[in-house]
Amino acid sequence: MADDILHPETLALHGGHRFDPQTGAVAVPIYQTTSYQFRDTEHAANLFALKELGNIYTRIMNPTTDVLEKRLAAMEGGAAGLGTASGQSAATLCILNLCQAGDNFVSSTDLYGGTWNLFANTLTAMGIECRFVDPTDPENFRRATDARTRCFFAETLPNPKLNVFPIREVADIGRGLDLPLIVDNTAAPVICRPLEHGAAVVMYSTTKYIGGHGTSIGGMIVDGGNFDWEACGHRFPTLNQPDPSYHGAVWTEAVKPLGPIAFAIRARVTLLRDVGAAMSPFNAFMFLQGLETLPLRMRAHCANAAAVAAFLAGHPKVGRVIFPGLQGGEMRRRADAYLDGGYGALMGFELKDGMEAGKRFIDALKLFYHVANIGDARSLAIHPATTTHSQLSENERKATGVSDGYVRLSIGIEHPDDLLADLAQALDAA
């Protein structure tokens, strides 16, 4: 059956691969190879000239990673995927694919700290300016745009505030200005499909829910195939002007026989080639294992998180619970508009007794792991004021939404009664 008529749950198991043509193996084999034998010189020349798509060298593509790319792209409703070494490299390649020195892009301020650093420091030092805007008002994206703006960037469900991003509103503003919206959907796979809401590119840290078991670092870019880079040519010289690094190829022209995948192809054959942030085939195999149960796990994550949020909201030592399912007003409207099947599994809560209570709570946990990660099958907790956000000044930290007693939870798929019991005894000790 064609991939485009199957549901994400089915695609997670069948997308992009039926069996290995050489051996009949049903599980996707790990092609742990650097290079590939060319049939003859014409074959080799065709591959290098992109007249034929095929394996040359694993830094650029690999058959195991290829199945993961096809599978995730199909699940998102996109045109092509590109595996990367990490979520950080996926974000880096997304921006470098459109921006050159002197250009700028507009990003939501609500970002994972690593991405914020990449945008505020590393890319800035390369001459690419990130204009941070508050996503509470989507019009802020328009206000920050000028002739050198190349894209908008945001996360679907950014912690610690967990305000769902107004994807459709900002994507529409972008499309009116000939600009694509790139969405980091790491915290909301399956429950949010950003391409359906107008995003042009989706990216993931596959390290989190997609891998799901806390074993491997990786990233993925999905080219939605729904943005006309050629019609908006004035915005995108990297895709519409001859590329000196590839015999003067014009990417929007060169990919025409292959489909609407100019963004993914350029990122692969120039940026992965040059930067080298490729996913390892072994990690691609691990992510394929994770992907098979991702829809099931997301349902369990979301159900457990809803139970934990309700428990915390009624606890006398808890001042406030930060969870999309407990919000009201515009933020709740956004959560209901963009999340389907649950409100995710990240949450925060504030202990009334502040910093010391936060430390005591974390030290008393028996089941929850105390780690700087999210999206594991196991439940995880961290006290940001003494860890991830401890380098910020008190005012900066509070502006990000991290108060002294703030605790972040990433709810796993254990039995909910066991999670509530662990939280109850840790709250007693807090």
**Interacting residues with ligand PLP (CB under 6 A):** 86-88, 112, 114-115, 155, 184, 186-187, 205, 207, 217, 219, 374
Nearest approach in angstroms of CB 279 to ligand PLP is 11
User: Tokens 């994770």 appear where?
Assistant: 290
Dihedral, CA of residue 371, residue 375, residue 376 and residue 377, to nearest 10 = 140
Nearest approach in angstroms of CB 166 to ligand PLP is 17
- The C-alpha atoms of residue 373 and residue 225 are separated, in whole angstroms, by 31
Q: Which is nearer to ligand PLP, 114 or 237 (CB)?
A: 114
**CB count in 10 Å sphere of residue 278:** 24
Nearest approach in angstroms of CB 379 to ligand PLP is 16
Q: Which is nearer to ligand PLP, 96 or 187 (CB)?
A: 187
Nearest approach in angstroms of CB 227 to ligand PLP is 21
Q: Which is nearer to ligand PLP, 65 or 88 (CB)?
A: 88
Nearest approach in angstroms of CB 373 to ligand PLP is 7
With CB atoms as reference, the residue minimizing the distance to ligand PLP is 87
Mapping DSSP to helix (H, G, I), strand (E, B) and coil, where does residue 149 land?
strand
Nearest approach in angstroms of CB 82 to ligand PLP is 14
**CB count in 10 Å sphere of residue 246:** 17
Q: Which is nearer to ligand PLP, 217 or 355 (CB)?
A: 217
Nearest approach in angstroms of CB 423 to ligand PLP is 22
Q: Which is nearer to ligand PLP, 99 or 382 (CB)?
A: 382
95 with 151: CB under 8 angstroms?
yes
The beta strands (E) that lie in 200-289 are given as 201-205, 219-223
331 with 110: CB under 8 angstroms?
no
306 with 349: CB under 8 angstroms?
no
Q: Which is nearer to ligand PLP, 112 or 343 (CB)?
A: 112
Q: Which is nearer to ligand PLP, 216 or 270 (CB)?
A: 216
- The C-alpha atoms of residue 24 and residue 267 are separated, in whole angstroms, by 32
Nearest approach in angstroms of CB 406 to ligand PLP is 17
Burial 102-135 (b: 16+ CB within 10 A, else e): ebbbbbbbbbbeebbebbeeebeeeebbbbbbeb
Mapping DSSP to helix (H, G, I), strand (E, B) and coil, where does residue 385 land?
helix
Please spell the DSSP secondary structure of 317-352, one letter per residue.
TEEEEE-GGG--HHHHHHHHHH--S---SEEEEEET
Q: Which is nearer to ligand PLP, 300 or 382 (CB)?
A: 382
